């Protein structure tokens, strides 16, 4: 069984402090959905409202179409995986996994059998009799997943479950989590401050800032067409130029900046913060969209090479624009054909009209 989740105008206040506002989200049945945002933006708070540990100050949480008001966490069809996992250290691995079954009153023999099945699912066969403390970080992680799955939830809630792991393991667990989700077929609601995790695993991502959901879309839309300055600067690297809108039509905006006039694709967001002629605007260009200036480049910039970085598959070039302008980053694939640049070289760069976007000026993500 699996269920959809709806947040209907959910607000959560702690005294005067608003931890989450106007949350309107629909998560489809069987979807892998992520909340992405910097630490402290209210992700855990929203997840706790879904799991029932916290009652929204306003608004409704619906799971499987049913209003969850007044239903405690022990009676919701959700299972939560905590940021610190919260495994029971005094129980063996299999007892941990079978705890939900123990609660349901299943016999010990059956519990053990089911726990062993789940241990197979998480690729830890025969490790049921170990103590939790004998497991490695990645193994604990998987036991926490198995423990939650044992409860047969309709919705699995995961609070930054990979944040304690090292990079290699984290990347491995991403694939693993996605595979488990597809195998069990239930709704996953995943929280992370790591955009890589959100983009690689999710069907849809909600990007949050200071309690507000700024955009909900699939990963490639979030990356290619961010709707706010915050989303554009938080998800992936972006170069940003401040300016004013000179001309505007459906497909192109011309933004006047101190470094030249840039032509970019305007992103119009439904019913709010529409870009208008004369408004302050920001032009965002991804580092990988910047290339050497061509004769037909729509937008051109020139500057001085500050630093070059070799990252194996990529070359990163940091370029300082003149007159105290911004530093921009360009990255190009290391295919052996890239021209080598020296620090101090003057360099002419360009980017196409379609690879740049124009957005109303807004707050950027902190570095």
Partner 1 sequence: MLNYWANYFTRNGIGVGMFLLAAVLLWMVFMIILPQLYMVDFSLRANVPPPKWGGEEHVYTLEHYKYLLYGSSKSAEQFNTIDLSVFGRTILAAVFVTIIDLCLCYPVAYYLAHVARGGWARLMIMSLIIPFWINEILRAFSFKVLFGTSGLINNALMAVGLIDQPYDFVRENVALYSGLSYAYILLMIFPIYNAIESLDKNQIEAARDMGSPWWRIHWRIVLPHAKPGICSGSTMVFMLSAGALAAPQVLGGPSSLWFTQIIYKAFNNSANWARGSAYALVLLLACIIFVLLMMRIFKVKLGEIAR
Ligand X SMILES: Nc1ncnc2c1ncn2[C@@H]1O[C@H](COP(=O)(O)OP(=O)(O)O)[C@@H](O)[C@H]1O
99-128 residues near partner 1, rule: CB under 8 A = 99-100, 102-104
Residue 192 as a binder of Mg ion (CB under 5 A): the answer is no
Residue pair 245/276 in contact by the 8 Å Cβ criterion: yes
Among 24, 84, 107, 294, binds partner 1 (CB under 8 A): 84
Residue 181 is a binding residue for partner 1 (CB under 8 A): no
90 makes contact with partner 1 (CB under 8 A): yes
Residue bearing tokens 């059998």: 113
Q: Is residue 11 near partner 1 by the rule CB under 8 A? A: no
Q: Which is nearer to partner 1, 69 or 90 (CB)?
A: 90
For Mg ion, the closer of residues 61 and 358 by Cβ is: 61
The reply on whether position 153 binds ligand X by CB under 6 A is no
Nearer to partner 1, 151 or 347 (CB): 151
Please, which residue, 6 or 44, has the CB nearer to Mg ion? 44
What is d(CA 291, CA 351) in angstroms, rounded to the nearest whole number? 6
Beta-bridge partner residues of 310: 315
Any contact of residue 72 with partner 1 (CB under 8 A)?
Answer: yes
- Stretch 25-84 residues interacting with ligand X (CB under 6 A): 37, 39-45
Q: Which pair of structure tokens corresponds to residue 65? A: 């179409």
Give the x/- contact pattern for partner 1 in 227-266, rule: CB under 8 A: ----------------------------------------
Q: Are 97 and 142 in contact (CB under 8 A)?
A: no
> Residue 73's binding partner, choosing from partner 1, ligand X, Mg ion, none, with beta-carbon cut-off 5 to 8 A by kind?
partner 1
Q: How many residues bind partner 1 (CB under 8 A)?
A: 24
Place of tokens 């929204």: 56
Size of the site for ligand X (CB under 6 A): 11
Burial environment of residue 166 by CB neighbours within 10 A (0 to 12, 13 to 18, 19 or more): exposed
Helix (H) or strand (E) holding 63: strand 58-63
Write out the H or E segment, with its range, that includes residue 317: strand 314-320
Least spacing, CB of residue 285 vs Mg ion, in Å: 32
CB 122 within 8 A of CB 145: yes
> Which C-beta is closer to ligand X: that of 121 or that of 212?
212
Phi, psi of 177, rounded to the nearest 5 degrees: -60, -45
Q: Which long-range contacts (CB under 8 A, 24 or more apart) does 20-25 make?
A: 20/45, 20/46, 20/49, 20/56, 20/211, 20/212, 21/211, 21/212, 22/212, 22/213, 23/59, 23/213, 24/213, 25/206, 25/213, 25/216
Nearest CA to 86 among 116, 53, 61? 53
53 sits near partner 1 (criterion: CB under 8 A): yes
Q: Does 45 sit near Mg ion (CB under 5 A)?
A: no
* Neighbour-count burial of 35, counting CB atoms closer than 10 A to its CB (0-12 exposed, 13-18 middle, 19+ buried): buried
* DSSP type of residue 340: P
Helical residues (DSSP H) of the chain, grouped into ranges: 43-51, 93-97, 99-104, 108-121, 137-150, 167-184, 195-201, 219-224, 229-234
* Residue 66 contact partner, candidates ligand X, partner 1, Mg ion, none, CB within 5 to 8 A by sort of partner: none
Q: Does 91 bind partner 1 (CB under 8 A)?
A: yes
Q: Contact between 34 and Mg ion (CB under 5 A)?
A: no
| Total number of residues that touch Mg ion (CB under 5 A) | 1
Asked whether position 82 contacts partner 1 by CB under 8 A, the answer is yes
Closest CB to ligand X among residues 207, 285: 207
Q: How far is the CB of 3 from ligand X (least distance, A)?
A: 23
- Shortest CB 38 distance to partner 1, Å: 22
The contact set with partner 1 (CB under 8 A) reads 51, 53, 72-75, 78-80, 82-84, 86, 88, 90-91, 99-100, 102-104, 147-148, 151
The contact set with Mg ion (CB under 5 A) reads 44
The contact set with ligand X (CB under 6 A) reads 14, 17, 19, 37, 39-45
């Amino acid at each position: 069984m699996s269920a959809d989740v709806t947040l209907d105008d959910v607000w959560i206040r702690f005294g005067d402090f608003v931890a989450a506002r106007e949350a309107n989200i629909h998560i489809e049945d069987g979807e892998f959905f992520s909340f992405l945002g910097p630490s402290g933006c209210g992700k855990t708070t929203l997840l706790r409202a879904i799991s029932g540990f916290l009652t929204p100050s306003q608004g409704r949480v619906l799971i499987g179409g049913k209003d969850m008001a007044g239903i405690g966490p022990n009676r919701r069809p959700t299972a939560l995986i905590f940021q610190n996992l919260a495994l029971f250290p005094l129980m063996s691995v299999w007892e941990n996994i079978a705890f939900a079954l123990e609660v349901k009153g299943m016999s010990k023999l059956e519990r053990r059998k089911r726990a062993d099945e789940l241990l197979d699912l998480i690729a830890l066969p025969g490790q049921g009799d170990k103590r939790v403390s004998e497991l490695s970080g990645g193994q604990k992680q998987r036991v926490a997943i198995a423990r939650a799955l044992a409860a047969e939830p309709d919705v699995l809630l995961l609070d930054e479950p990979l944040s304690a792991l090292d990079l290699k393991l984290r990347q491995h667990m991403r694939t693993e989590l996605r595979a488990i989700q597809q195998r069990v077929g239930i709704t996953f609601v995943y929280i992370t401050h790591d955009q890589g995790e959100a983009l690689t695993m999710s069907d849809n991502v909600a990007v949050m800032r200071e309690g507000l959901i700024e955009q909900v879309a699939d990963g490639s839309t979030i990356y290619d067409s961010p709707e706010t300055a915050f989303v554009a600067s938080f998800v992936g690297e972006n170069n940003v130029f401040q300016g004013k809108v000179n001309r505007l039509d459906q497909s192109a905006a011309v933004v006047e900046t101190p470094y030249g006039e840039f032509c970019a694709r305007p992103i119009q967001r439904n019913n709010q913060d529409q870009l208008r002629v004369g408004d302050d605007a920001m032009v965002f260009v991804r580092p990988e969209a910047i290339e050497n200036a061509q004769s037909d480049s729509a937008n051109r910039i020139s500057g001085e090479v500050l630093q070059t970085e070799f990252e194996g598959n990529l070359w990163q070039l940091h370029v300082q624009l003149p007159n105290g302008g911004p530093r921009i980053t360009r990255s190009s694939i290391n295919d052996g054909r890239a021209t080598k640049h020296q620090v101090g070289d003057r360099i002419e760069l360009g980017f196409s009209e379609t690879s740049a976007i124009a957005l109303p000026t807004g707050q950027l993500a902190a570095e």
